Structure formats: structure tokens, C-alpha cells
Amino acid sequence: MLVDLDGVLVNSMPAIRTALAAWAARRGLPVHQVLGLAHGRRTVDIVRTMVPERDEDTEVGLITELEIDSCRRVLPVAGADRFVDALAGRPWAIVTSGLREISLLKLKAAGLRTPDVIVSAEDVTASKPAPECYLRAARTMNTPTADCVVFEDAPAGFASARAAGIRCIGVGPTAAHYSGELSARIHDFTGLRMSGTQDERRLRLSGGVSIPSRRGKK
């Protein structure tokens, strides 16, 4: 399982938007334009787009400080705690465009277990929709992409999973507009169940939908 963090496991977009809006105000930037870049992009890419003339390390550091102040209050998406607990003993990773330090703070604030594998902004050279992050996570877990499933909430993430050749389950309201590109979609994790062994995994979603491993039965 390859799981995005913001908007998938944790309701952190308000915290992200608060931090970016504060940064935009300090720099005299159009807030709406900055917030339009918020979903699925690394902080450094937002800086490079909005203020290419400024020192990117300084700007990323400022945004990080602002986000740390606000991310301690994030909450888990409904059912995410049970979903993460059910992943114990199974290969899974968090794949996020956020920084590792902030991602760990969000997981702690939301009371969610931390996986052994986290692919964060520092680990890749290109943001979603590039496939690098998901390919790296699958490789780190030594799992073929054919046996992976991505959970994502944003168009950039959907495109990233598709470019990596990995099935994608859309989470949240935006997914309803991309159903043709997704293997399935869920509102949150309350209706999701997992069954089967580690070698033969099957996700059971609300409404009786199930997604088997591509390996099939042995």
C-alpha cells in the first residue's frame, strides 16, 4: 500500500493553507495564486514558481516554521486510525510531497502509526504528477508496481500513480470528478476493510467493491 498523507490520512489542508497564506502575505504575493499551488506540490516547487529570485532555502525554512506552528492541530481522516492499524505487518509506505519533519509531526498529532517507509519531498527531484515518488516507494519496499495500490486525494497524485503504472483509489470529494481514471474511490476509510494474506491481499470497500492483488490466487 502506498498512501498519500495530506488529505488522505490526515485533515491537514487547513494547516497547509494557513501557513502558505501567511507566507504569501509576508512576501506580498497573491494569496489565491499561492494556495492554488498547495495541493500535491513540494514547498520548494511553490517557492521556485512564486519567488524564483529569492533564496529558496530561506523561503522553504520560513514556510516550514509557519506550517509547524499550525500542523500540531491536525486530525485523522475518518477511519484512518483503523486502516493504519490494519496495515501492521504488511508492506506499506507514506508517499508525500511534504517535508519529512512536518509529516512526522502530523502523524503524531493525528495519533497514527508511522510506517517503516516514508518517501517525502527530500527524497525526490520532481513533484507529483511525476511518478518518481511512487516508483521510489515501491522499489524501497521491494514490491512490484503491479502489486501496489495507491491512495490519493488530488489530481496530481492520481496522475503520478497512473504514470507509475499503479492502481489508484481516490479518497475524498475530488475523486468523484476523476472516477474514470481510478480503480475505485472512497469518501474516507470508514467503509474499507482488508482481507487475505500478505501474499494475496484484497481490499473490500463500502458497497461491496473489492480490489484483489494482481498476482491472483496461488
Tell me the catalytic residues: 4, 6
Taking a C-beta distance cutoff of 8 angstroms, is the pair 7, 13 a contact?
Answer: yes
Bridge-based pairing state of the strands 2-3 and 149-152: parallel
Please report, to the nearest 10 degrees, the dihedral formed by the alpha carbons of residues 102, 107, 111, 112 taken in order.
Answer: -170
CB within 8 Å of 33: residues ≥ 6 apart: 24, 50
Number of Cβ within 10 Å of residue 52's Cβ equals 8
12-50 burial: b if 16+ Cβ within 10 Å, else e = bbebbbbbbbbbbeeeeeeeeebbebbbbbbbbbbbeeb
Bridge-based pairing state of the strands 117-119 and 167-171: unpaired
Helix (H) or strand (E) holding 135: helix 132-140
